[in-house]
Amino acid sequence: MIDLDGVGVDFEGVRALDGVDLRIADGEFVTVVGPSGCGKTTLLRAIGGLEVPTAGAVRIDGDPPSAAQAGARLGFVFQSHTLLPWKSATENVTFLREMAGEEPKREEARELLASIGLAGFEDAKPRELSGGMSQRVAIARAIHLGADVLLMDEPFGELDEITRDELGVEIRDLWRRERKTVVFVTHSVPEAVFLADRCVVMGVAGRIERVVEVDLPAPRDEAVLGSRAFQKQVAAVRRTLHEHHA
Ligand SMILES: Nc1ncnc2c1ncn2[C@@H]1O[C@H](COP(=O)(O)OP(=O)(O)OP(=O)(O)O)[C@@H](O)[C@H]1O
């Protein structure tokens, strides 16, 4: 359980987050959407313990995020690729555990890569991988680390729309298989709705305006993107965003 209680973050006169209350249950997929500068990244960083709140508190299973981080329970996936260029895809997945002094589990890493569409690329170097493939490696790395909370900041932001849609379907599948808790920041309303159980809509000035329960079937494929139910949910989130973005 992730628990944010009255969380505020100030940066030299800028209020990036203001009185944020949010609870995320284990195994939930929550997306955070909102206009540029509304505090999405700051919210994610506060959950991950990378930003210390100036008001309120973040708890992960009752502990501060630093405790969850120390136990390698948090996995980060960011927009730009953070792979080591001289290591293969498999080595990029295993190296964080090796750094922690563990025996590398290469077979496990290879299987994980294959399960997210990288069969045949296990030995490829990052320069041989497309942007979408690199993000798959970064996701596999977070899972291999044993993280049970995945914090994702616009991980598909630099990808073309078709790759984004494909990765969206895959990340939902992976989430259903692995039962991780996912907090996923995005600018894209359709992406936020497609992926989420709940969609946190932020407005200006670092506030949560509304949390939308996404009422779509749990297994989701590309066909969902064209459904009326999906379009209705997207419209509802857009309305909330525009109401609070005068
Ligand atoms: N380290 C920092 N120092 C000063 N101001 C900051 C810092 N980080 C963020 N801010 C400010 O806090 C506010 C929220 O920023 P944040 O990056 O969380 O927004 P965001 O919604 O993620 O934006 P975007 O979608 O453009 O990435 C912005 O006004 C930003 O300029």
Q: How does pLDDT run across 32-54, given as a tens digit for each residue?
A: 999 999 999 999 999 999 999 99
Query: Tell me, what's the pLDDT at 78?
Result: 85
Which residues, listed in sequence order, are joined to residue 50 by a DSSP beta bridge?
Answer: none
**182 & 138 share domain:** no
Question: Which domain does 136 fall in, by range?
Answer: 82-147
Query: Tell me, what's the pLDDT at 246?
Result: 57
The first and second tokens of residue 94, run together, are 């295993």
CA of 18 to the centre of ligand 1 (A): 13
**139 & 153 share domain:** no
**157 & 222 share domain:** yes
Task: Give the ligand 1 atom nearest the CA of 43.
Answer: 18
Task: Give the H/E segment covering residue 182.
Answer: strand 181-186
How far, in Å, CA of 40 to CA of 17, rounded? Answer: 9
Q: What is the mean pLDDT of each run of 10 residues along the chain (246 residues)?
A: 96 92 96 93 95 95 88 84 90 88 88 92 95 91 90 89 90 89 95 96 90 90 92 93 76
Number of domains in the chain: 2
How far, in Å, CA of 137 to CA of 171, rounded? Answer: 12
Q: HSE (CB half, 13 Å, CA atoms) of 61?
A: 12
- Whether 136 contacts 117, CB under 8 Å: yes
Domain termination site, one of 120, 147, 174: 147
Q: Assess if residue 126 is contained within a domain.
A: yes
**104 & 159 share domain:** no
Longest dimension (CA), the chain: 54
Q: What is the ipTM of this complex?
A: 0.96
Task: Give the H/E segment covering residue 60.
Answer: strand 55-60
82-99 CB burial, b ≥16 within 10 A, e <16 = ebeeeebbbbbbbbbbee
CA of 166 to the centre of ligand 1 (A): 29
Query: Tell me, what's the pLDDT at 158?
Result: 82
Tell me whether strands 74-77 and 149-153 are parallel, antiparallel or unpaired.
parallel
State pTM to two decimals: 0.93
Question: Whose alpha carbon is nearest atom 7 of ligand 1?
Answer: 11
